[in-house]
Amino acid sequence: MSRVYLLLGSNLGDRAKNIEIAISELKNCGLTISRRSSFYNTSPWGYKEQPEFLNIAIECFTSLSPFALLEEIKKIEKKMGRKDTIRYGPRIIDIDIIFYNNLILKTDKLIIPHPLMHKRDFVLKPLCEIAPDFVHPDLKLSVKELLDNL
């Protein structure tokens, strides 16, 4: 089983309910949720003219490969009504793979660790709540150190 850290976010509709539905769908794909952060209200990043996001980080375990996990995540987002709009725009649900074990993967389809995670407080704050000592495999800094350096 692989340990994976995901970040979930929503800024449309009942944000907390959207996240809970997504977590339930992730469990239906065989993921075991071992830890979850509190909910965090966060300002939009990239495109500012939209509602605030609600974010949560989860630690889970899966037998899915990184690409199979990404495929399941995309299915969940589509099933929940996510539409492709403007980059960083409003969305019912957004699920990002932040870490997958200590894997460093860079392809056109998937980059792990998430390439912008160390620049985003809305990722680092909830992640620090559940995994402050997890070390970024490429940057060689813990999540807490990344947050402190932000």
Looking at the annotation, which residues are catalytic? Answer: 82, 91, 94, 96
The residue assigned the tokens 């800094």 is 141
Tokens standing for 72? 């399941």
Backbone angles phi, psi at 67, to 5 degrees: -70, -35
Rounded CA-CA distance 60/1 in Å is 10
CA 137 to each of CA 4, 38, 94: distance values in angstroms, whole numbers, following the listed order? 13, 25, 23
| Sequence-distant (≥ 6) Cβ neighbours of residue 21 within 8 angstroms | 80, 93
| Sequence-distant (≥ 6) Cβ neighbours of residue 8 within 8 angstroms | 19, 22, 23, 55, 56, 57, 58, 93, 94, 95, 96
